[in-house]
């Protein structure tokens, strides 16, 4: 009998960089700084697609809340 559990897609740092429109170096830095969820497989970093999707949702929520709470700054025109 076959398992009906869907397989989790695992991404390389290059694929994550392409999705996020960042450099591979930046993605690697984010992983090493524990800013992005990842795991080491065979000595290389991999990111589960579902973890990346959840991370992106959290980023959207965090920035939406901060943007609401942050007062809008208007440029001052000195010397007018």
Q: What is the mean pLDDT of each run of 10 residues along the chain (80 residues)?
A: 72 98 98 97 96 95 67 60
Orientation of helix 13-20 relative to helix 24-32, angle to 10°: 110
Q: What is the pLDDT at residue 77?
A: 59
> Residue 79: left if φ>0, alpha if ψ -120 to 50, beta else—which one?
left
Predicted model pTM: 0.71
Report the alpha-carbon distance of residue 78 to residue 10 in Å, rounded: 53
Q: What is the pLDDT of residue 75?
A: 63
pLDDT at 73: 65
d(CA 46, CA 63): 25
Q: Strand ranges (DSSP E) for the chain?
A: 10-12, 39-41, 44-48
């Amino acid at each position: 009998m076959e398992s009906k559990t869907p397989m989790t897609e695992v991404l390389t740092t290059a694929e994550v960089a392409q999705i996020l429109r960042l450099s591979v170096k930046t993605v690697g830095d984010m992983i090493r700084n524990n800013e992005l969820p990842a795991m080491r497989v065979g000595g290389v970093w991999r990111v589960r697609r579902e973890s990346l999707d959840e991370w992106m949702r959290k980023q959207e929520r965090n920035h939406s809340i901060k943007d609401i709470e942050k007062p809008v700054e208007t440029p001052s025109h000195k010397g007018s």
